[in-house]
Structure 1
Amino acid sequence: MPSLFRRKSADLADPATEPLTPAEEEAEANRPRGYTPSKGRETPKRPTSGRRPPGTTKPLSKEEAKALRRQRRAEAAAEFRREGGPRDRGPERLLARNVVDARRTVGTWFFGGALIVLIGSNQAMPPAVRLASNLLWGALAIGVVIDSVLISRKIKKLVRTRFPQSTQRMGSLYLYAIMRAITFRKLRTPEPKVTIGDPV
């Protein structure tokens, strides 16, 4: 005997799948953006087209994460070596670097000479060696001062000629060039763009 309380599935109509009448379509088009349908209708889902699927990347192991960090540090160091940092930006800074890089500077021998002076001025050294070390130290100091003055004068002349409207502080620019001049050429950052003897 069939059950009196069971209804055939074909008799059940799903309101969410029933076609809308023209009047209902017009009413639905005029609804506000934040409208929520009443109970009895399925809540419309967000469109999935154009959305990125959730990532399925697996977590890295400790060795892989360490290798990735090492690679990123190496890339950042190489980029800094080529391009420099914020303090190296600007046409005046580039000009100052080219002035220094296009000449031989006494400052490149400063730290090597300072090491020799430190060793030679030891009390265990003979008096003649200590005297020579002191003379070398004085010659290095005088040479760096003269070289720094010449570099600063050339930078001042070129900046005033090529960038008459520049707002760059000249004292800061001189110090920037002098610090570069006492650094070994291979350790300068950014890398030199000119070779020794090139016109600037």
Structure 2
Amino acid sequence: MHRARDVGYPCRVLSLFRRKSADLADPATEPVTPAEEDARPRGYTPGKGRQTPKRPATGRRPAGATKPLTKEEAKALRRERRAEAAAEFRREGGPRDRGPERVLARNVVDSRRTVGTWFFGGALVVLIGSNQMMPEAIRLASNLLWGALAVGVVIDSVLISRKIKKLVMARFPQTTQRMGSLYLYAIMRAITFRKLRTPEPRVAIGDQV
């Protein structure tokens, strides 16, 4: 009888040891999800006997050396980037063109014909016609043309400024934009040829603003 009991005893002890070793398995060997890995502090070192988890390769640059550009390719790339920057500036303008008040001022100018667009062309005619070698009648006509252009630009600038002030006060009563700066911005645009204006016009002549 005693021998039968003794035979079963080592089996029970062995099973207990197996269950204990399974319960005390090293957590360092368990797999870790990417979320758990990202939650760990910087400088974390995995426990001994544990493999360092690999980060996903998504978003990484493909392996391989980048071929250096030749001098001609680099020049072509710079030229292309300059063209893209110029086109973007032509469409959107620069920092001085930002703000709803500036957009409104541009639309007021672009929706009408301005005397200022003829200012520089007229100035060239006046410069040639006022030469001392020209007949007196041509010189007199050149001076009259210069005076007419100057008066026309002044009157046109006053009308543009008054319309801008009226629209800005109606649509942006809480504006912090300085009106003098806005008037000067509009007048400088008004004396620029329409095709050379930046940003490019977004309204046609005669459109309601």
Structure 1, unaligned stretches of length 5 or more? 1-20
Output the CA distance in 2 between the equivalents of 1:154 and 1:168: 16
Output the CA distance in 2 between the equivalents of 1:159 and 1:178: 16
Contact 2:122 2:149 in 1 (8 A): yes
2:163 aligned partner: 154
Percent identical residues = 77
Are the structure 2 counterparts of residues 46 and 120 from structure 1 closer, same or farther at C-alpha, using a change threshold of 3 Å?
farther
1:71 aligned partner: 80
| Equivalent residue runs for 1:1-200 within 5 Å | 25-26=26-27, 34-35=44-45, 47=54, 49-50=56-57, 52=60, 53-200=62-209
Q: Which consecutive segments of 4 or more residues in structure 1 shift more than 2 A?
A: 21-29, 32-38, 43-57
Q: CA deviation at 1:54?
A: 3.7
Q: CA deviation at 1:48?
A: 5.1
**How many positions carry a matched residue from both structures?**
176
Q: Scaled by the length of structure 1, what TM-score is found?
A: 0.78
2:18 aligned partner: none
What CA deviation, in whole Å up to 9, does each residue of 1:110-165 have, x standing for no partner? Answer: 00000001111111111111111111111110100000000000000000011111
Are the structure 2 counterparts of residues 138 and 37 from structure 1 closer, same or farther at C-alpha, using a change threshold of 3 Å?
same
Q: Supply the AA of the counterpart residue of 2:197.
A: R
Output the CA distance in 1 between the equivalents of 2:138 and 2:169: 47
For 2:207, what is the secondary structure of its paired residue? coil
Are the structure 2 counterparts of residues 196 and 27 from structure 1 closer, same or farther at C-alpha, using a change threshold of 3 Å?
closer
Structure 2, unaligned stretches of length 5 or more? 1-21, 31-40
Are the structure 2 counterparts of residues 35 and 161 from structure 1 closer, same or farther at C-alpha, using a change threshold of 3 Å?
closer
- After superposition, the CA RMSD in angstroms is 2.5
Contact 2:122 2:146 in 1 (8 A): yes
Output the CA distance in 2 between the equivalents of 1:187 and 1:154: 23
Are the structure 2 counterparts of residues 22 and 58 from structure 1 closer, same or farther at C-alpha, using a change threshold of 3 Å?
farther
Contact 2:116 2:192 in 1 (8 A): yes
Q: Supply the AA of the counterpart residue of 2:173.
A: P
For 2:199, what is the secondary structure of its paired residue? coil
Contact 2:130 2:143 in 1 (8 A): yes
Q: CA deviation at 1:57?
A: 2.3
Q: CA deviation at 1:37?
A: 7.6
Name the larger-Rg structure: 2
Q: Scaled by the length of structure 2, what TM-score is found?
A: 0.75
Output the CA distance in 1 between the equivalents of 2:204 and 2:56: 57
Q: Supply the AA of the counterpart residue of 1:188.
A: R
